[in-house]
Structure 1
Amino acid sequence: MKLNKRVLLMGLSLSVLSTMSFAEQASNAQAVFNDAYQNYLNAVKTKENMQQAAEQAYTLGKAVYGDNSDNTANLAINYAKSINGYGKKWIEKRFSLYQQAYTISVNNHGNKSLETVDSLVGMANFAPSAQKADYYLDQVIAIANTENKPKFLADMKLEAATILANKFSYEKYREAKNYLEEADEYYQANLPKNSVEQIKADFLMASFAEGRKRYDHAIERLNRVVKVFDENLSYDHSAELTAHSRLIGLYEKKGKSDEATKHCIAIAKMVPWKESQEQTPLYRVEPKYPKNKARFSKDGSVVMEFQVDESGFVKNPQVLSSEGGLAFEKSAVEALAQWRYAPKFEHGKAVAATSKVQLDFKIRR
């Protein structure tokens, strides 16, 4: 009996020691995760190494919190959003992470819960087909409808319109258009013109209008965006730059080069011209492939030097070298003459500058 008692006491002692060791290990794992998560937050602020930091936080957090924790779902979403690769591998990786988060949220909160919305939107964004994307977005809208929050519903419709328009416009054009118009109607009635949501809607409405060759309506929407930034911000913004750039193309399509010039100059003031850089066209017309060259699958290239004048027009294009013959040269010069650029600025004034470009003609085989 005494021996048995000693054995029992020894077993209890080892059990206590084992429990303390496990607790210490868990504490250490939590501390390591906390450091990794802080590193991720820092990466988000600096916008450097986000994907690596998010992956590490996700891996460590999953070990700490387990496969079925809301924390793990959130870390999976963070990781998916931070991935910057665009190949098939990364598209599938994003979808898998959002799917994992969705499964966790459904198990913990139900398939009609608000907690599933982020992962549903993510799955729609990286869905393998338009039908799948539409299916996930229908669920998002259904959930938003139950929340009795009109702005949230409008935001989800804008999100759905953006995904369908950008990735599945051919198959889901009508659905995207309907979502966008409903969101835009709410924003125009309830939000100021300088709201982020209204600006996003204006951009997308302009894209739909341009796609249907309703250039005047597209111009109206983008000019609204430019006006918002001119009246409300003392600094330049990438969205303003994009609006100016798109307006140049639209005005050129309407044959209103003078109007386009205003936006060429606006961009030149926003983006300082550097001596070492080649100027990038804001509006370009693709050269026509010479029929006699296309008939015999002949490739070619043309290098040209030209001036960008004070208004952003191309002047005096000269062929420096070419391959394939005079037909390519003629086509390249004719196209280049229609391009528009932001002029170079010196001491606050637009001046002419010399630039170069190479146009390549290649038959797809």
Structure 2
Amino acid sequence: MKLNKLALLMGLGLSVLSTTSFAEQTNNAQAVFNDAYQNYLNAIKTKENVQQAAEQAYTLGKTVYGENADNTASLAINYAKSINRYGKQWIEKRFSLYQQAYTILVNNHGKQSPETIDALVGMASFAPSAQKADYYLEQVIAIANTQNNPKFVADMKLEAATILANKFSYEKYREAKNYLEEADEYYLANLPKNSVEQIKADFLMASFAEGRKRYDQAIERLNRVVNVFDESLSYDHNAELTAHSRLIGLYEKQGKSDEATKHCIAIAKMVPWKESQEQTPLYRVNPKYPTNKARFRKDGKVVMEFEVDESGFVKNPQVLSSEGGVAFEKSAVEALAQWRYAPKFEHGKAVAATSKVQLDFKVNR
């Protein structure tokens, strides 16, 4: 009996010791994860090493919370969103992470739960086919419709339209356009012109119109964006720059260079002239590849210096050097003469300035 009692006490002692050790290990793991997650939050603020930090938090979080926890799903989504690399490998990686999160959230909350929406949107964004993407987005809209929130439905339709238009426009053009028009109708009736949602819808509506060569409709939408910043918002924004830039291209396509000039000037006021760099054209016409050079698969290169006048027009293009022959030079000069730039501003006034550009002619081999 004594031996058995001693053995039992030893067994209890070992059990207690083991439990204490496990608790310590758990606390340590939690502390390590907390540090990793804080590192991830700091990386987002500094915009440095975000993917690496998100991956570490995800890996450690799985150990702390388990494979099937909501927190693990959230960490997987964070990791997927942080990936900034390109190529098939990383597309598949992002899709896999969203899929893992979706499986967890469906098991925990059900297929019709709003908790699954982020994962579904992510899966649609990196789906292997247009059909799959459309299927996931249909589920997103169906879930949104159960929430008794018309704006949320419109937001999800805008999200769906954006994904289909940007990634699967050829196969799913009609579906994207329908989603967009329904979202836009709600925004026009219920939101102010300067709402983020309406601005996004205006941009996408302009893209659809431009794709169908309905330039007047596209111009109307982009001018709405420009006017919103002029009338309602007191700061410059990338959206405003983009709208000005796209309007330059649309007006030039219509032969309305005077209208385009207004937007060249607007961009010049917002973006400083970079003396040490090649200036970026706001509108460009690609040079024609000389027929005789293409026939014999000859490459060429032309370096030119030119003046950008006070209205952003190219003046006096001069060839500084070239490779491949005079035909390349002639084509390059003809194309460059049609380009538009943001002029240089000095002391609040547009002035002429000199810039350079190199045009490369390469035959695909």
Give the structure-2-normalised TM-score: 0.98
Quote the residue 1:228 is aligned against.
228
Q: Which one-letter code corresponds to 1:117 in the other structure?
A: I
Q: Which one-letter code corresponds to 2:346 in the other structure?
A: E
Quote the residue 1:15 is aligned against.
15
Question: What do the CA deviations read for 1:115-174 (whole angstroms, capped 9, x no partner)?
Answer: 111001000001111111111111111111121211111101000000000011011111
Paired with 1:347 and 1:87, the residues of 2 have a C-alpha distance of: 46
Question: What do the CA deviations read for 1:231-283 (whole angstroms, capped 9, x no partner)?
Answer: 22222111111111101001101111111111111111101112212110000
Paired with 2:216 and 2:108, the residues of 1 have a C-alpha distance of: 50
What is the DSSP-based 3-state SS (H/G/I as helix, E as strand, rest coil) of the residue aligned with 1:146?
Answer: coil
Deviation at 1:324, TM superposition (A): 1.4
> Unaligned stretches of 5+ in structure 2?
none
User: Are 2:122 and 1:134 equivalent residues in the alignment?
Assistant: no
Quote the residue 2:178 is aligned against.
178
User: Are 2:277 and 1:277 equivalent residues in the alignment?
Assistant: yes
- Give the 4+ runs in structure 1 shifted more than 6 A: none
Q: Which one-letter code corresponds to 1:272 in the other structure?
A: P
Quote the residue 1:264 is aligned against.
264
Q: Which one-letter code corresponds to 2:361 in the other structure?
A: F
User: Matched residue pairs, number?
Assistant: 365
User: Are 2:119 and 1:151 equivalent residues in the alignment?
Assistant: no
- Percent identity, please: 89
Quote the residue 1:123 is aligned against.
123
Paired with 1:257 and 1:6, the residues of 2 have a C-alpha distance of: 98
> Unaligned stretches of 5+ in structure 1?
none
Quote the residue 2:76 is aligned against.
76
Q: Which one-letter code corresponds to 2:278 in the other structure?
A: E
Moved more, 117-126 or 273-282: 273-282
Paired with 1:287 and 1:22, the residues of 2 have a C-alpha distance of: 70
Paired with 1:63 and 1:87, the residues of 2 have a C-alpha distance of: 29
What is the DSSP-based 3-state SS (H/G/I as helix, E as strand, rest coil) of the residue aligned with 2:319?
Answer: strand
Question: What do the CA deviations read for 1:204-255 (whole angstroms, capped 9, x no partner)?
Answer: 0000000011111101100110111112222211111111110100110111
Quote the residue 1:190 is aligned against.
190
Deviation at 1:46, TM superposition (A): 2.1
Quote the residue 2:26 is aligned against.
26
Q: Which one-letter code corresponds to 2:59 in the other structure?
A: T
Quote the residue 1:89 is aligned against.
89
Moved more, 33-42 or 219-228: 33-42
What is the DSSP-based 3-state SS (H/G/I as helix, E as strand, rest coil) of the residue aligned with 2:285?
Answer: coil
Question: What do the CA deviations read for 1:29-88 (whole angstroms, capped 9, x no partner)?
Answer: 111111111111122222222111111111111110000000000000011111111111
Paired with 1:90 and 1:341, the residues of 2 have a C-alpha distance of: 36
Quote the residue 1:311 is aligned against.
311
Quote the residue 1:237 is aligned against.
237
Paired with 1:108 and 1:129, the residues of 2 have a C-alpha distance of: 27
CA RMSD of aligned residues (A): 0.9
Paired with 1:274 and 1:200, the residues of 2 have a C-alpha distance of: 30
What is the DSSP-based 3-state SS (H/G/I as helix, E as strand, rest coil) of the residue aligned with 1:80?
Answer: helix
Deviation at 1:304, TM superposition (A): 0.7
What is the DSSP-based 3-state SS (H/G/I as helix, E as strand, rest coil) of the residue aligned with 1:359?
Answer: strand
Quote the residue 1:329 is aligned against.
329
Q: How does 1:106-117 map to 2 (within 5 A)?
A: 106-117=106-117
What is the DSSP-based 3-state SS (H/G/I as helix, E as strand, rest coil) of the residue aligned with 2:145?
Answer: helix
Quote the residue 1:291 is aligned against.
291
Question: What do the CA deviations read for 1:181-214 (whole angstroms, capped 9, x no partner)?
Answer: 0000000001000000000000000000000111
Paired with 1:65 and 1:87, the residues of 2 have a C-alpha distance of: 31
Quote the residue 2:48 is aligned against.
48
Q: Which one-letter code corresponds to 1:39 in the other structure?
A: N
Q: Which one-letter code corresponds to 2:238 in the other structure?
A: S
Quote the residue 1:59 is aligned against.
59
Paired with 1:245 and 1:354, the residues of 2 have a C-alpha distance of: 21
Paired with 1:230 and 1:28, the residues of 2 have a C-alpha distance of: 54
Deviation at 1:347, TM superposition (A): 1.3
Paired with 1:298 and 1:94, the residues of 2 have a C-alpha distance of: 41
Deviation at 1:341, TM superposition (A): 0.4
Quote the residue 1:251 is aligned against.
251
Paired with 2:235 and 2:151, the residues of 1 have a C-alpha distance of: 28
Moved more, 47-56 or 244-253: 47-56
